[in-house]
Structure 1
């Protein structure tokens, strides 16, 4: 495993994290960091604990030990409705929209902690995802998979988070929509939002990100620049299909 390093200016700092569900421990001593504006991807085999890392950061698992800090403040053990106040947005893989609500209502739910939904935030989301403006009165449950994913991302961006966490954003999308989804994530990052992403399409994710982590059995196995991991023969043979 490459040595885990930080420049001391990490936005997100996960150290020696142990976490799981109930009494079942999934993560053991996981270290991870995201710098301001960085694009970081977590890859690994099924059951490696990738989604559990994301859920643990966002307060959705049983925190068992270690540290999770965001902008030098501990968020370990906090509930999701507390964590969003710190500037994190999270898009789960499944059930990530309110199907019975309209597109606009879903977006407004993303800003529920505010006294009033800022029109400029809605305008920004509509500029990023024009289809959402066109379909703003449509029930989210009637939208295509790609449109629902854009809506889920848009809702998470309503509070203009410093860090956007995405769990398998390309899952279930038609092949011709996957590249478009990655392009949209690239643009979100290029606009200044840091991204932490779990992704099944490991090669494409590593090609686009700044850094990547490979998790195996709930533990760190490799960490390096995305291009370096793609070029690493062991990583390619064991986790990227050669």
Structure 2
């Protein structure tokens, strides 16, 4: 890779993508008084697929939670669709057009599949049937198991349900935290294929993923975080081809 790769300590989100949907600049965030992120920059363009990778404890999920209002905002700027959302509560961020799928406890185990999906539309006056049908078309297994309790689904099916519920509001940006975590190896590619299809349909994706090789192969752009700070930013292809990135973060 050439020497002009983007190292985001020097690059602003505005420089990273021409049509910024999400723009994060100089973000400090953490939990309570514990600071995890320091001057993090990140951007997601309209319809773009962006992934965050890095070692355990790098602050990857904290970036996502800070955007969604689940981490403690300390300093910097978070803008979505040109409006400042720094420090807003999750219920306010949802109304702006952002949906979030956490890694753990991402379904209501005691509710049916259909009830889970209906919960995804809780901010609306009524459940839009066309959105339900769209989710069922995207995830046919959920249609087949509408009345089944979510807690009895397989890991892959629960992840599909969590994503389907997040899509009930037809978000402009979908935040995915470790979507392949805990899945059997033969289901990982299928899950990534489904994420590709969501993005191909026009929804921007910001994803945190430990399966860095697979994520970078599929995304438009990637960020490598280390100890709560930006280390590298570039296209997924360029990061995969960078010897230092491969040696330090991708296993050689």
For the Cα contact (< 8 Å) 2:17–2:43, is it kept in 1? no
Q: C-alpha offsets along residues 106-148 of structure 1, whole Å, 9 cap, x if unaligned?
A: 0000000001000000000000000000001000011100000
Matched, 1:27 2:31: no
Distance 1:82 1:57 in 2: 11
Shift of 1:9: 2.1
Q: C-alpha offsets along residues 131-170 of structure 1, whole Å, 9 cap, x if unaligned?
A: 0000010000111000000000000000000011100000
Give the corresponding residue for 2:83.
73
Report the TM-score when normalising by structure 2.
Answer: 0.95
Shift of 1:2: 1.8
Give the corresponding residue for 1:2.
6
Shift of 1:7: 4.1
Distance 1:82 1:194 in 2: 19
Tell me which of 189, 195, 201 is aligned to 2:199.
189
Tell me which of 159, 170, 176 is aligned to 1:166.
176
Aligned pairs, number: 242
Relative to structure 1, is the Cα distance of residues 231 and 179 closer, same or farther in structure 2, using a 3 angstrom cutoff? same
Q: C-alpha offsets along residues 142-200 of structure 1, whole Å, 9 cap, x if unaligned?
A: 11000000000000000000011100000000000000000000000000000000001
Matched, 1:103 2:113: yes
Give the corresponding residue for 1:129.
139
Helix, strand or coil: the match of 1:14? strand
Relative to structure 1, is the Cα distance of residues 173 and 220 closer, same or farther in structure 2, using a 3 angstrom cutoff? same
Matched, 1:211 2:215: no
